[in-house]
Amino acid sequence: MIAKQKTWFITGISSGMGLEIARTVLEHGDNVIGTVRKYAEAAYQALDSAINLHVVVLDVTDEVAIKHGVEEAITRFGKIDVLLNNAGYGYLGAIEEATAAEVRRNFETNVFGVLNVTRAVLPYMRKERAGHIINISSMFSFGPKAGWGIYAATKYAVNGISEGLALELKPFNIKVTSVEPGLFLTHFQGNSTAEKAKVIIDDYERTEVGKKRAELFSDNIKRLGDVKKIGHVIVQLANAEDPPLHLPIGSDSVKAYRDNTLKYWEDVNEWEEISVTTDDPDYFID
């Protein structure tokens, strides 16, 4: 059976994961409305000016621009079947080092950006009683590494939003998946995809935080994933009749999920006898 042509709205297609996913989706024969913060022509060139591609310049923190971009998509293709919230960037620094402005900026893009675009697209999906929202989270949402606590917090938020949306959108036949990639070859390479804390506290330079900071733009950081392969997984996900709520991608992400789940179980089991002493004996949970 030939899959029905879909129309995708993908944020952040200028480079890295977003670019490669858009390329695979286009090769699959689907339509793509891709967003970039600037340089639309560069995105067209990178994707061989595909006839089923339309690039929109917008920032995911700008709700007015998003509304116009979504309207452009509907005018061009008449619908949006898949929303892929991909735009975002990493932030590396000890939590103590992070300034309020840096934290706010990371949440504005990684979390509020997801909400802004989702709110703009959902009225059209609800009208059709169909659609699939795919939010790009991170393996760090299963458990942050030292230096990545703020970034991980944004991805924990993405997971929570995805889980809430899945419950709320089920009556409208709209699916939701939070995708948690591991480390891929393009992850955090270049100033546009990662930001280092401006304030550096010397004490942290002798810890894992300092080590991660030194590795960030070097060739020493281990990246298991081939970003050119991730698009094929995402296309299969979008065509699944019963897609998962969570999808770790990469062996490192799968391991992170299992390790963190096991740690939760160990903590709960060890402390359960004390934890349940707060229960009201007259209240029962079914």
Distance, CA of 120 to CA of 42 (rounded, Å): 26
Domains and CATH numbers, the chain: 7-252 (3.40.50.720)
212: Cβ contacts below 8 Å, ≥ 6 apart: 92, 145, 146, 147, 148
DSSP secondary structure of 7-30: EEEEE--SSHHHHHHHHHHHHTT-
* pLDDT value of position 4: 87
Q: How many Cβ atoms sit within 10 Å of the Cβ of residue 224?
A: 13
Distance, CA of 67 to CA of 181 (rounded, Å): 28
* pLDDT value of position 267: 96
DSSP state, residue 100: H
* pLDDT value of position 36: 97
Q: What is the pLDDT along the chain (286 residues), one digit of tens a residue?
A: 346 899 999 999 999 999 999 999 999 999 999 999 999 999 999 999 999 999 999 999 999 999 999 999 999 999 999 999 999 999 999 999 999 999 999 999 999 999 999 999 999 999 999 999 999 999 999 999 999 999 999 999 999 999 999 999 999 999 999 999 999 866 555 445 789 999 999 999 999 999 999 888 665 555 678 888 999 999 999 999 999 999 999 999 999 999 999 999 999 999 999 999 999 888 766 6
Distance, CA of 65 to CA of 56 (rounded, Å): 9
Distance, CA of 76 to CA of 52 (rounded, Å): 10
268: Cβ contacts below 8 Å, ≥ 6 apart: 275
Alpha helices in the chain (DSSP H): 16-27, 40-46, 63-77, 100-107, 113-128, 149-169, 202-205, 208-215, 227-238, 251-275
Residue whose token pair is 């995911």: 60
The encoded tokens of residue 115 equal 């909400």
Q: Which residues are catalytic?
A: 14, 137, 151, 155
CA distances from 63 to 66, 120, 149, 158 (A): 5, 8, 27, 18
* pLDDT value of position 9: 98
